[in-house]
Amino acid sequence: MADNNTDLEPFAFDGLDRYQINDALVNVMVQQFQDNNQRQETGVNELITEFRAQGLLPIGVTGELAIQPLLQQSENIAKQMIELLAGSHKSHVDLDITINQFTVTGRIKHIYGKNLILWRPGKLREKDKVILYLYWLCLCASPPKQGLDSAFFVSVEKLYRLPVLDKEAAERALNNWLNIYFWGKDRWYIFILKPLGNG
């Protein structure tokens, strides 16, 4: 007779489920710490129950074992986030920048105090570095009232950081990127990303 005990069946998350679960866990951990200034298990446990109800996590011992690596990974990211936040809360900056023939408008979120902090519950990709760099160029070209310190990208790898640039240097770099972007819309353009930050 076959053994129908689901606790003994192997289980693995697919890539998308793993990403979404990590993302939700980190958000809850960081938000609870900001609200209560301490780590609380209530929200995490409620989230795990929700994962089971959605069919993302099996019940019983199998589910408990499967979620442990994701909990550890999420907690490591959340700890880095909490340390960087230093009690500050999320804000945004509205942009209206004119550089030569270009105008850049929009809103940059994820501003905490004087820092820009982005994160993803996975490995840091080159395009993540580009996004952080372009956001940071815009902010340095149009600094908010509180000033700027650093830009960070938190991932499961080493923390990636960009230093503040002076306004003129940021405007020159942003102008170069805009020129390349519009020039490249009509033709192939190959470039190698040279990281500005550490990591």
CATH number at residue 61: 1.10.10.990
pLDDT interval class at 192 (50, 70, 90): low
Determine contact, residues 125/104, Cβ cutoff 8 Å.
no
Q: Per-residue pLDDT for 5 more than 50?
A: no
Once rounded to an integer, what is the mean pLDDT over residues 100-104? 90
* Same-domain pairing of 24 and 80: yes
The torsion angle over the Cα atoms of residues 118, 124, 130 and 135, rounded to 10 degrees, is 0
* Boundary of a domain, candidates 70, 85, 100: 85
**Residue 32: pLDDT band with limits 50, 70, 90:** confident
**Is 193's pLDDT higher than 70?**
no
How confident is residue 196, by pLDDT bands cut at 50, 70 and 90? Answer: low
Can you give the pLDDT at residue 62? 82
How far is residue 182's CA from residue 179's CA, in Å, rounded to a whole number? 5
Question: Tokens representing 59?
Answer: 């019940």
Rounded to whole angstroms, how far apart are CA atoms 33 and 79? 10
Q: What is the pLDDT of residue 153?
A: 97
Whether 193 is in a domain gets the answer no
Rounded distance between C-alpha atoms, residue 100 and residue 39, angstroms: 48
Full domain range(s) for residue 32: 10-85
Q: What percent of the chain has pLDDT over 90?
A: 45
Q: What is the pLDDT of residues 131-155, one digit of tens each?
A: 999 999 999 999 999 999 999 999 9
Q: Are 95 and 106 in contact (CB under 8 A)?
A: yes
List the beta strands (DSSP E) in 52-140: 90-99, 102-112, 115-119
Say what the pTM is.
0.77
Indicate if 102 and 63 belong to the same structural domain.
no
- What residues are paired with 102 via a beta bridge? 99
Using pLDDT thresholds of 50, 70 and 90, give the confidence band for residue 38: low
Same domain for 68 and 135, yes or no, is no
Q: Where does a domain end: 33, 54, 85?
A: 85
Please tell me whether residues 96 and 63 are part of one structural domain: no
Q: Sign of the C-alpha dihedral, residues 115, 120, 125, 130?
A: negative
Distance between CA atoms of 54 and 40, rounded to whole angstroms?
23
User: How high is the pLDDT of residue 1?
Assistant: 37
Q: Are 102 and 169 members of one domain? A: yes
Number of domains in the chain: 2
Give the helix/strand (H/E) hosting 154.
Answer: strand 150-154
95 found inside a domain: yes
φ and ψ at 118, to 5 degrees? -110, 160
Is the model's pLDDT at 11 over the cut of 90?
no
111 shares a domain with 97: yes
> Could you tell me if residue 28 is inside a domain?
yes
